[in-house]
């Protein structure tokens, strides 16, 4: 926002979230927006509560280190600052305030007790350079978490180092590369990636120096076996399969795919981002996968989104264990724990991240796993699958469902028929959901589904919430036919109206600048 505003009106706006009378409002802005913190600033505000420095303080600093002009920071009193940021937070949609049906993301509610565990002083205040002798509790927790993840996945060993799922993918593929190089098999330069995989999979293969070969889907949503067989050969280093896939479907042909892969001398990577759907029912290591990553921020309690931090542990079979990143956490015969010493495992691909990973994230995962136990984690997946199939049936009353088969923890709906009938697109439906009080699902992903919506209810939402969401989608479908202007104009109740999202992505404006006139930012 921009414009002239009195201090009294600005304070009132900050406190109440209202637009002061006479303050100019950008086009498309709603009444809950407020002045920026720079517009609330007044010279001398907030001073006098911190002891002033000595009069000659600046004289003690070398002239080369002094600013030519003040830094331009806003000056405010504490109540205005607190109210400003609290009101900004109220503009955010959060899992504590509403349902997040984002497919491919698993935005589930996470127990607050896991946050408590991560904040325990012994974990939160431990210095990352603390010697092994004074970090025994944390090392033991991380070692036990590795063991738990190995048991859940059926893998031989796990590293906790990667900072997110995408880095976990890179870690896994770098180990695949090291495996083939150690065998002198330098001609394996291709990675096969089904078109139902997460988009990071082909990017990961490219970053590791491989050529990506895309494999199309069969009509039932699984991998096309004939296309896969035709692409597989002596140049294949690995396959990367997201299972369950981004269609929300379990790969029925996984046994055949893995047998063909290993017969060709390649390795099999499983993107474990959708593990929330299969815990207790499918162990990738037992099925024959050689390497996989976990998204603990999707499955094991860490909040998803918000810029991080995350964690993407990687599990491997016996053949890849020598190549795991270093340092690993080792348990000595006397029961104590230590980190590997430099050079102790020469075949290692080295360090992927500082220290042993994002420990606070890993503490949450450990607490989540212990609280649920094996039977509880199995129930988590069963409830997630049940919720998705219930919601799939309800949403199918108003929108197309491309695949007529049982889904896993998420499913795809399509507004293609609605678009042909009324001109209303998936984007319109998503924006209108905001007016109905819901966060939109993931839209236009996967790219292979026309006007697609990828919807994931997770196991943590009640049937009443699922019904309310399905009812909102049904109401929007009716509006599209009876009053389409309501849908194309949406959202009308949000802090801002429709934004130019393409321009925002291509030309992001990431810093505040004073306005010229009423709303136009000054040119650079």
- Please indicate whether residue 310 or residue 378 has the higher confidence score (pLDDT): 378
Inside any domain, residue 362: yes
282 shares its domain with 398: no
258 shares its domain with 345: yes
CA distance 263 to 255: 12
316 shares its domain with 210: yes
pLDDT confidence of residue 517: 52
Inside any domain, residue 475: yes
Identify the weakest region by mean pLDDT among 13-17, 136-140, 278-282. 13-17
284 sits in which H/E element: helix 284-287
Inside any domain, residue 137: yes
143 shares its domain with 236: yes
Contact 175, 268 (CB under 8 A): no
Would you give the distance in Å from CA 422 to the centre of its chain? Answer: 34
pLDDT confidence of residue 33: 79
Inside any domain, residue 128: yes
307 has a pLDDT exceeding 80: no
Mean local confidence (pLDDT), 13-32: 45
Identify the domain containing residue 80 by its residue range. 7-90
Inside any domain, residue 279: yes
Domain total for the chain?
A: 3
22 shares its domain with 117: no
Sorted by sequence, the CB contacts under 8 Å of residue 167 that are 6+ apart come out as 312, 352, 353
Contact 431, 377 (CB under 8 A): no
User: Any idea what the CATH number is for the domain that residue 405 is in?
Assistant: 3.90.1150.10
pLDDT confidence of residue 516: 57
189 shares its domain with 71: no
150 shares its domain with 268: yes
Q: How many CA atoms lie within 13 A of 422 on its CB side?
A: 21
191 has a pLDDT exceeding 80: yes
The 3-class SS string of 150-176 reads: HHHHCCCEEECCCCCHHHHHHHHHHHH
Query: Are β-strands 337-339 and 329-331 bridged in parallel, bridged antiparallel, or unpaired?
Result: antiparallel
Domain stop point among 371, 405, 423: 371
Domain stop point among 341, 371, 401: 371
Would you give the distance in Å from CA 267 to the centre of its chain? Answer: 26
Domain stop point among 90, 121, 156: 90
Q: Which pLDDT band holds residue 409 (cuts at 50, 70, 90)? A: very high
239 shares its domain with 298: yes
316 shares its domain with 438: no
Inside any domain, residue 519: no
Q: In whole numbers, what is the pLDDT of the chain averaged over residues?
A: 90
Inside any domain, residue 235: yes
Q: At what angle do helices 359-395 and 463-482 cross, to 10 degrees?
A: 50
45 has a pLDDT exceeding 50: yes
484 φ/ψ sector (left φ>0, alpha ψ -120 to 50, else beta): alpha
CA distance 375 to 368: 13
11 shares its domain with 76: yes
pLDDT confidence of residue 16: 35
- Please indicate whether residue 418 or residue 297 has the higher confidence score (pLDDT): 418
Q: Looking at residue 496, what DSSP letter applies?
A: B
173 shares its domain with 84: no
SS3 379: helix
Mean local confidence (pLDDT), 241-251: 96
3 has a pLDDT exceeding 70: no
Tell me which residue of 345, 353, 327, 351 sits closest to 132, measured CA to CA.
327
User: Any idea what the CATH number is for the domain that residue 191 is in?
Assistant: 3.40.640.10
Identify the weakest region by mean pLDDT among 2-6, 85-89, 246-250. 2-6
Q: Which pLDDT band holds residue 21 (cuts at 50, 70, 90)? A: very low
Inside any domain, residue 512: no
329 shares its domain with 184: yes
Count CB-CB contacts under 10 A for residue 228. Answer: 22
């Amino acid at each position: 926002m921009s414009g002239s505003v009195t201090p009294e009106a600005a304070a009132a706006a900050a406190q109440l979230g209202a637009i002061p009378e006479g303050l100019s409002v950008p086009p498309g802005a709603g009444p809950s927006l407020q002045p920026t913190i720079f517009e609330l600033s007044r010279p001398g505000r907030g001073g006098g509560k911190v002891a002033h420095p000595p009069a000659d303080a600046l004289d003690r600093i070398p002239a080369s280190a002094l600013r030519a002009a003040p830094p331009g920071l806003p000056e405010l009193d504490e109540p205005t600052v607190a109210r400003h940021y609290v009101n900004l937070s109220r503009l955010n949609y959060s899992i504590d305030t509403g349902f997040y049906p984002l497919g491919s993301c698993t935005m589930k509610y996470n127990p607050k007790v896991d946050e408590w565990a991560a904040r325990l002083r012994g974990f939160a205040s431990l210095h990352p350079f603390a010697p092994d002798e004074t970090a025994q509790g944390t090392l033991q927790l991380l070692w036990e978490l590795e063991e738990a993840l190995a048991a859940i996945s059926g893998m031989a060993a796990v590293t906790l180092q990667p900072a997110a799922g995408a880095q976990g993918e890179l870690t896994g593929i770098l180990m695949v590369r090291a495996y083939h190089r150690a065998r002198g098999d330098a001609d394996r330069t291709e990675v096969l990636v089904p078109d139902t995989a997460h988009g990071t999979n082909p990017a990961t293969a490219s970053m590791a120096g491989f050529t990506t070969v895309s494999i199309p889907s069969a009509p039932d949503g699984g991998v096309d076996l004939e296309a896969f067989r035709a692409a597989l050969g002596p140049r294949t280093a690995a396959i990367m399969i997201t299972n369950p896939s981004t269609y929300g479907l379990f790969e029925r042909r996984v046994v055949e795919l893995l047998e063909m892969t290993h017969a060709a001398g390649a390795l099999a990577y499983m993107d474990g981002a959708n593990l929330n759907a299969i815990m207790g029912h499918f162990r990738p290591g037992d099925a024959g996968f050689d390497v996989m990553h976990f998204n603990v921020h999707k499955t094991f309690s860490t909040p998803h989104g918000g810029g991080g931090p995350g964690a993407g542990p990687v599990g491997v079979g016996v053949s890849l264990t020598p190549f795991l990143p270093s340092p690993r956490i080792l348990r000595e015969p006397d029961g104590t724990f230590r980190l590997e010493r430099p050079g102790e495992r020469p075949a290692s691909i080295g360090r992927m991240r500082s220290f042993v990973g994002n420990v606070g994230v890993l503490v949450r995962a450990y607490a989540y796993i212990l609280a649920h136990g094996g039977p509880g984690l199995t129930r988590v997946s069963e409830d997630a699958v049940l919720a998705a199939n219930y919601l799939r049936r309800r949403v199918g009353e108003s929108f197309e469902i491309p695949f007529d088969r049982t889904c896993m923890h998420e499913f795809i709906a399509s507004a293609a028929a609605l678009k042909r009938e009324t001109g209303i697109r998936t984007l319109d439906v998503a924006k209108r959901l905001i007016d109905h009080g819901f966060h939109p699902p993931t839209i236009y992903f996967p790219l292979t589904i026309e006007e697609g919506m990828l919807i994931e209810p997770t196991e943590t939402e009640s049937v009443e919430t699922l019904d309310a969401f399905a009812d909102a989608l049904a109401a929007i479908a009716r509006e599209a036919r009876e009053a389409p202007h309501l849908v194309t104009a949406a959202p009308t109740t949000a802090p801002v109206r429709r934004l130019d999202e393409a321009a925002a992505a291509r030309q992001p404006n990431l810093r505040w600048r004073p306005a010229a006139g009423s709303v136009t930012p000054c040119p650079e």
